[in-house]
Structure 1
Amino acid sequence: MSQPGERRTHRGLTVAGLVLAFAMAALEGTVVATAMPTVAHELKGLLSYAWVTNAYLLTSAVAVPIYGKLSDMYGRKPIFLFGVLLFLLGSAASGAAQSMTALIVFRALQGLGAGAMQPVALTIIGDIFDLEERSRMQGLFGSVWGIFGIVGPILGGIIVKYVSWRWVFFINIPFGLACAALVGVALHENIDKRRRRLDIAGAALLATGVTALLISTSHLGTAVTATSTLLALVLIGLFVWVELRAAEPVLPFDLFARPIMAHASLMGALLGGAMMGSLTFVPLFIQGVLRGSPTEAGGALTPMLVAWPIASAIGGRLIPKVGIRPLVRVGISLTAVGSLLLMFFGHRGIYAIYLATGFFGLGMGLGNTALVIAVQTSVEWAQRGIATASTMFFRTIGGLVAVGVMGGLLAASFAADPNIPPDAADLVLSREGMTHLSPELLARIGHILEEGVRRCFFVTGVLGALAFIAVLFFPDVSKKPATEPVTSAPPAH
């Protein structure tokens, strides 16, 4: 509760600052992808192309649970502002990068900042609004994510064509400063000042263990895969051992004894895998197999990107009326339908893919919003940060591991035919490149690519089906939060 003389949070300004953070994070996922062909050409780094994105995703993924725990220990505002600062430093340095290696390093720094922005922002919303208001706000933020995800490719194309690819990164700076100023001035917390023991060993083991796990799925060669897999198992085993003995574990295992947390984490990993698989391999299928243009490949994801914010906004308003569990079940079921459509009918043409991605968007918009509310409602303030972050962590890790496995299936399809030249597969992704291939080789590559992507769609379908089975056992959620928030701060001690 607020104490006499305590400054109160201005919720409107706080929300405005958090919206800016969400907009930057959403844009970064799509606007950079649009600029990457130009970046790779100018910096002469085509062979390092994928690592510009992977470095960002990797550091943001491993940082999410750590920031979530720190926000529970030291308050939301300082951790959020620290994340924004790192994100802006990474953005400025990325825009000024003079080599592909430097860009990869600076993107990793940017990812470290992004790892705090989205989960801590959602946690702040859980702190400063009651359940009914929180549902609408989570719907709003889901809509912001979807809308700016759609705007990203368009904005990226305009910036690259008329200004410079460097402004894809520099554009974050004014918005990031405005975000930090709004949250810094408007959000006030009453933080417990007692000394806390930071679980440095646990944080280090989690970060290195997850990094090794993701490298093991990156197809860098048999020796690298075997070594990183073994290292990941050892580090994650040590992490579990340390966490069971830590006074302030970075990822408290007792949290997952709660049925809601256990189910949400499992479904998050499965949905993350299905969603990232579709986002990654649907455009590849359209360009490489259906011979579509890059515009047509991006357009196949439009139904998802349009349906997601609409469903998120609707779901946020429905939660107080129908409850959390029905929306979780409906949302996950729709996502499963989308993944199964992709599995059974995705190879039959563009319209089946449109339908599948549309179901994905509807399902994720409804289900993801309700899942976040369910998780935040099931815990008290002192665990709300790590609870929110952990659901995002498992969704991101599930997506990255699934895409790595699917990429391995695709690579295995090409490796099975020694008559395919190493660089020939890349040529089918552009009309100009296809002119350098014989009709026979072009047909052979197209057939192999189709079979490989169909295997990826099969994995997506299995993940969606497993998520549907898991949601059948999703527990009921009380509409009364564990701690009704009055301000964004924990109770005074």
Structure 2
Amino acid sequence: MRKTHRPLTTVALALSLFMAALEVTVVSTAMPTVVGELGGIQSYAWVFTAYMLSSTITVPIYGKLADLYGRKPIILFGIGLFLAGSIASGLASSMGMLIAFRTLQGLGAGAIQPVALTMIGDLYTMEERARVQGAFSAVWGVAGLVGPVTGGLIVKYLSWHWIFFINVPVGMLTFALIVAFFHEQVQHKPQQLDYAGAGLLCAGVVALLFGVQGVGTNLWALPAALVLLVAFVQVERRAPAPVIPMTIFKHPAIAISSVAGALFSAAMFGATTYVPLYVQAVLGGSPTTAGGMITPMIVGWPLAALFAGKLLLRTGFRPLIVGGLGLTVVGTTLMALLLKQDAPLFALQVAMALFGVGLGFASTALLIAVQTSVGWELRGVATASNMFFRTIGGVLGVGLMGGVMVSRLLADPTIPVEAANALLGPERGHASIPEATLRTLSGALTSGLSINFWLICLFAVGAFIAGLFFPRVQRNAGTPVATEAAAAPH
């Protein structure tokens, strides 16, 4: 059997995570312009939630498949699907097509990050992983710096379609490196996928998402979601190989980390989705300026995660968790107060930086505490479950805020949807909007988005309160104090 070339395989995995990180900032920067050209501002949130939902629900399934059939075929399948979705998204000519192709893109992304992190665990010892983590943190930091600028330049000088094409050469290079340099000997395990549990989880989360952003029309989905999720829990308790073992939540550290992770992720994804929209649509900023508002948060996260791993040796988990979540409350409160017509953008960037630094400290400590709370045989499941709840929180948070924004726009029947779309066009379309309509529209958007920013603050406060109940977890001397997963903003 050929030997794996560890350095080049590591490069390939770093490139795969770079694609995921770049996707966050570039798409957030360009989305207001996309709405201006394609229309469909009422579906704005679905472009994000469709991608996040499809990638999140498939994470535990891909994890099981990687155990059954090996890491290599699963990550190659994920990269291929991600690239197909990227190309199709770039060719989309309507908002409906874009949402469908983003779903396809998310189905591929669901394999990339968890399998890449699993491969790092296979390639490196516990001691080596602490060093490799620094490089993977730098990947997210670089993507956070170049993403908004790249997205803004693409929209300005080329077309929004190219924001989806830029990942294609990176993905092709990643695919080729893994094919050529990663080799494994698969030990097939007699496991079966929990199809019933996976199906109920998918249906329950989709129903919940429809319910929270239903704007009064889809509230029927909330009781349906409750029934489906209760059925999911019952199936998981009896399944021989459950998607999410319910027994792990008997550990207080895991249960509280799941709640706190879901809440701070709702705040984080809400900020990356709606701050660029506010800056471009209400404040009149350029796509580059709009994307630049979230750069301090995305860069602050991995930088703080690097320090958090070292501070854990001295402080333990609770100070970093409570202190980090406290910083997120300060940052989101300032953000909600500062997002006004005459607000200095630099002050907003400082608020976003505080938010990101707080997330970096708290999320790292929470994830490593989860890994410390269980033995080796449950560590992978516990880590995957924690990531799952974080992303589900982001999906539902963005969906809820999308419902709030649309409800404010629909509250005034004199506002035509076409005017809202034109407001976000490349030239902001002001010439085609009557002045009275423009004032009414701007007021409705400002009202809806202001509510969203206070919701972001509320989510951060909820995460902080959950953090106050975090138990005192003893960190074993042999436990790694930094992991590549902890430094990545999921």
Of 356, 359, 369 in structure 2, the residue corresponding to residue 374 of structure 1 is: 369
Is 1:272 aligned with 2:272? no
Residues 1:474 and 2:470 are matched in the alignment = yes
| Structure 2 partner of 1:449 | 445
Cα displacement (A) at 1:443: 3.8
Structure 1: where are the runs of 5+ without partners? 1-5, 485-493
Asked whether the 8 Å contact 1:378–1:481 carries over to 2, the reply is no
Q: Which residue matches 2:243?
A: 250
Instruction: For 1:215-254, list aligned pairs within 5 A.
Output: 215-219=210-214, 222-223=216-217, 225-254=218-247
Alignment partner, residue 326 of structure 2: 333
Per-residue deviation at 1:428? 4.6
Contact 1:68/1:387 (CA < 8 Å) preserved in 2?
no
Q: Distance in 1 between matches of 2:318 and 2:132?
A: 18
CA distance in 2, matches of 1:326, 1:122: 27
TM-score, normalised relative to structure 1: 0.83
How far off is 1:90 after superposition?
A: 2.9
Aligned to 1:3: none
What amino acid sits opposite 2:194 in the alignment? D
Cross-structure match for 2:188: 193
Alpha carbons 1:23, 1:144 under 8 Å: kept: yes
The amino acid that maps onto 2:447 is: E
In structure 1, distance between residues paired with 2:399 and 2:351: 22
Matching residue's letter, 2:320: L
In the TM superposition, 1:412-431 aligns within 5 A as 412-429=407-424
Once the 2 structures are TM-superposed, how far is the Cα of residue 68 of structure 1 from its aligned partner?
A: 3.2
SS in 1 for 2:212: coil
Change (3 A) 1:315 1:211: same
Match of 2:360 in 1: 365
Alignment of 1:282-321 (within 5 A): 282-320=275-313
Query: TM-score, with normalisation over the residues of structure 2?
Result: 0.83
Counterpart AA for 1:463: F
Which amino acid is 2:392 matched to?
A: I
Distance 1:76 1:473, change over 3 A: farther
User: 1:203 — aligned with what?
Assistant: 198
- For residues 422 and 88 of structure 2, the distance between their equivalents in structure 1, rounded to whole angstroms, comes to 32
Moved more, 12-21 or 433-442: 433-442
CA distance 1:7–1:201, change in 2 (3 Å): same
Secondary structure of 1:226 counterpart:
coil
Match for residue 154 of structure 1? 149
- Classify 1:135/1:353 alpha carbon distance in 2 versus 1 (closer, same or farther; 3 Å): same
Closer, same or farther in 2 for the Cα pair 1:450/1:107, shift >3 Å?
closer
Aligned partners of 1:427, 1:108: CA distance in 2, in Å? Answer: 26
TM-superposed deviation, 1:112 = 0.8
Aligned positions, number? 477
Name the aligned partner's letter for residue 230 of structure 1. Answer: P
Cα deviation, residue 20, structure 1: 0.8
Q: Distance in 1 between matches of 2:33 and 2:423?
A: 19
1:489 paired residue number: none
Structure 1 residue 255: Cα displacement? 1.6
1:396 maps onto 2:388 in alignment:
no
CA–CA distance in structure 1, aligned partners of residues 203 and 179 of structure 2: 32
Identity %: 51
Q: Which moved more, 1:95-104 or 1:79-88?
A: 95-104
Q: Which moved more, 1:275-284 or 1:286-295?
A: 286-295
Shift in Å, 1:128: 4.5
Q: Which amino acid aligns with 1:341?
A: L
Match of 2:458 among 462, 469, 477: 462
CA distance 1:286–1:166, shift in 2 (3 Å): closer
Tell me which residue corresponds to 1:172.
Answer: 167
Tell me, in whole angstroms, the C-alpha distance in 2 between the residues paired with 1:428 and 1:160. 16
